[in-house]
Amino acid sequence: MNSTVVNSTVGSPRRSQAGGVRQDRKSGPRDPRRNPSLDAQGRHYPARVTPLDDVDRKLLALLEADGRRTFADLAGEVALSQPAVKRRVDRLVAVGVIIGFTAVVDRARLDRPLEAFCELRFQGTTSPEDMEALRRDLPEVEAVYVLAGDFDALCHLRVRDMAHLREVVARLRATTGVVGTKTLMVMSSVRGPR
């Protein structure tokens, strides 16, 4: 299944009327005050490792499989009280282990079913911020990864069809500082909880 993860709710989890985990909309997962592994521009940098016990790992696996599970349901799975589970989930959010609760969308059923990666080589004077700006400037760019190695950046693309891909790659090639590209089409992918 070709799917991608999009933020549906943001902020720290709270109990909803139905007893589930819900989000405040006041500040999102890109707010560096609420997520120490993100900088002010929303870039993810590996944070220090957070020690987790087996219960934390089980809660994370359960929430990755279904982020809409209630605290009561989670509590039954890990043999803790609802308040204890809520405290653990709140702590995992506070330290940045959980950076948001999401909906998994099957893009193949929407407007951009084709997926590709485009490796970009930039001039030596191009800053990482200029490379990352491609995410903001082109709606077809799902993510930008700044790399160390042969290529300088990797763009994850979502497009309607091959003609649209050709158009997007042409726009990437016309970007200031880009001196070379290599495009890879995705034939299939496996994502989601393990």
Can you list the domains of the chain with their CATH numbers? 4-104 (1.10.10.10), 111-185 (3.30.70.920)
At how many degrees (to 10) do helices 71-78 and 82-94 cross? 100
**DSSP per-residue letters across 114-175:** EEEEEEEEE-TT--HHHHHHHHHH-TTEEEEEE-SSSSSEEEEEEESSHHHHHHHHHHHHTS
Find the mean pLDDT for residues 47-66: 89
Q: What is the pLDDT of residues 123-178, one digit of tens each?
A: 989 999 999 999 999 999 999 999 998 999 999 999 999 999 999 999 999 999 99
**By percentage, how much of the chain surpasses pLDDT 70?**
74
| C-alpha dist (Å) from residue 181 to 152, 153, 158 | 10, 10, 17
- Alpha-carbon distance values, 72 to 5, 65, 118 (Å): 25, 16, 44
Give the pLDDT of residue 145: 95
89 pLDDT exceeds 90?
yes
Q: How far apart are CA 79 and CA 28, in angstroms?
A: 30
Other CB atoms within 10 A of residue 122 CB: 20
Name the pLDDT band for 3 (thresholds 50, 70, 90).
Answer: very low
pLDDT at 1: 39
Q: What is the value of pTM for the model shown?
A: 0.63
**Measured distance CA(152)–CA(181) in Å, rounded:** 10
Residues 181 and 113: beta-carbon distance below 8 Å: no
